[in-house]
Amino acid sequence: HPNRHINVTLLPFGRRQRLLLARDISHLTRLEQIRRDFVANVSHELRTPLTVIHGYLELIDPEDVPELAPVLNEMRAQSKRMGQIVEDLLTLSRLETQEHVQDERVPMTPLLATLRKEAEALSQGRHQVTLEATADVDLLGSPKDLHSALSNLVSNAVRYTPTGGRIVIRWRRTADGAVYSVTDTGYGIPASHLARLTERFYRVSSSRSRESGGTGLGLSIVKHVLNLHQARLDIQSEPGQGSTFSCWFNNQRLLVPGDPE
Interface residues toward ligand ADP, by CB under 6 A: 152, 156-157, 160, 184, 186-189, 197, 202-205, 209, 214-219, 243
Residue 205 beta carbon to ligand ADP: minimum distance, rounded to whole angstroms: 6
Which CB sits closer to ligand ADP, 177 or 218? 218
Strands 177-184 and 166-174, bridge-based pairing: antiparallel
**H helix runs in the chain, sequence order:** 26-59, 69-97, 108-123, 143-159, 191-194, 206-212, 218-228
Distance of CA 152 to the CA centre of its chain: 5
Q: In angstroms, what CA-CA distances link 105 with 1, 68, 117, 224? A: 39, 50, 21, 19
Residue 243 beta carbon to ligand ADP: minimum distance, rounded to whole angstroms: 4
The residue with its CB nearest to ligand ADP is 214
φ, ψ dihedrals at 188, nearest 5°: 75, 175
Q: Evaluate whether 7 touches 22 at the Cβ level (below 8 Å).
A: yes
Residue 39 beta carbon to ligand ADP: minimum distance, rounded to whole angstroms: 16
Which CB sits closer to ligand ADP, 55 or 162? 162
Residue 168 beta carbon to ligand ADP: minimum distance, rounded to whole angstroms: 12
Rounded to whole angstroms, the Cα distance separating 209 from 159 reads 8
Which CB sits closer to ligand ADP, 62 or 216? 216
User: Which of 260, 259, 223, 257 lies closest to 111 in space, CA to CA?
Assistant: 257
Which CB sits closer to ligand ADP, 60 or 235? 235
Residue 210 beta carbon to ligand ADP: minimum distance, rounded to whole angstroms: 8
Residue 217 beta carbon to ligand ADP: minimum distance, rounded to whole angstroms: 6
Which CB sits closer to ligand ADP, 13 or 201? 201
Which CB sits closer to ligand ADP, 87 or 103? 87
